[in-house]
């Protein structure tokens, strides 16, 4: 399956009502990889698409999340607007081992009642690889 095929399949699943999307950077590579070397980010995207099959989670491969020094990188975002939800950015992901962790994290986020991914339930790769947690667009913190 080509990267274009992966994007087409992910776009279709996202339009079919997936409650959470995993965006995976396909251009992530190690600093010493030759330019024409297969990209670990593309391998992570393909593995994540495979791991997400029949889960209701959409995977959207994309070019460059600008997290190059901490790649492989991915973002988890909930698409269900009924609950304002945080977006999570992860790095230092292992292309060969962390696809299932991304799907598990997306399922946790999809099932969240407060829009946050529960820390204790996260797979280890998502605990150690957290780069940022981005608030919902209309977020305002209540001060006491």
Integer-rounded Cα Rg, in Å, for the chain is 15
Q: Note whether residue 106 is domain-resident.
A: yes
In whole angstroms, give the CA distance from residue 38 to residue 54.
27
Q: Domain count of the chain?
A: 1
pLDDT tens profile 75-130: 999 988 788 899 999 999 999 999 999 999 999 999 998 889 999 999 999 999 99
Domain CATH number, residue 43: 3.40.30.10
Contact between 72 and 93 under an 8 Å Cβ cutoff? The reply is yes
In whole angstroms, give the CA distance from residue 106 to residue 76.
6
Domain assignment of residue 68, given as a range: 3-134
pTM (2 decimals)? 0.83
Q: Note whether residue 53 is domain-resident.
A: yes
Q: Note whether residue 144 is domain-resident.
A: no
Contact between 125 and 106 under an 8 Å Cβ cutoff? The reply is no
Q: Note whether residue 111 is domain-resident.
A: yes
Q: Note whether residue 10 is domain-resident.
A: yes
């Amino acid at each position: 399956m080509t990267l274009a095929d992966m994007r087409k399949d992910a776009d279709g699943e996202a339009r079919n009502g997936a409650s959470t999307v995993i965006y995976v950077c396909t251009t992530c590579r190690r600093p010493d990889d030759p330019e024409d070397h297969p990209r670990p980010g593309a391998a992570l995207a393909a593995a994540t698409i495979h791991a997400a099959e029949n889960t209701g989670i959409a995977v959207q491969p994309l070019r460059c999340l600008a997290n190059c020094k901490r790649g492989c990188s991915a973002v988890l975002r909930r698409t269900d607007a009924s609950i304002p939800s945080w977006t999570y950015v992860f790095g230092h992901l292992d292309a060969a081992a962390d696809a299932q962790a991304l799907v598990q994290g997306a399922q946790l986020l999809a099932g969240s009642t407060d829009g946050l991914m529960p820390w204790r339930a996260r797979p280890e790769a998502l605990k150690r690889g957290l780069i940022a947690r981005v608030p919902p667009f209309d977020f305002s913190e209540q001060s006491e």
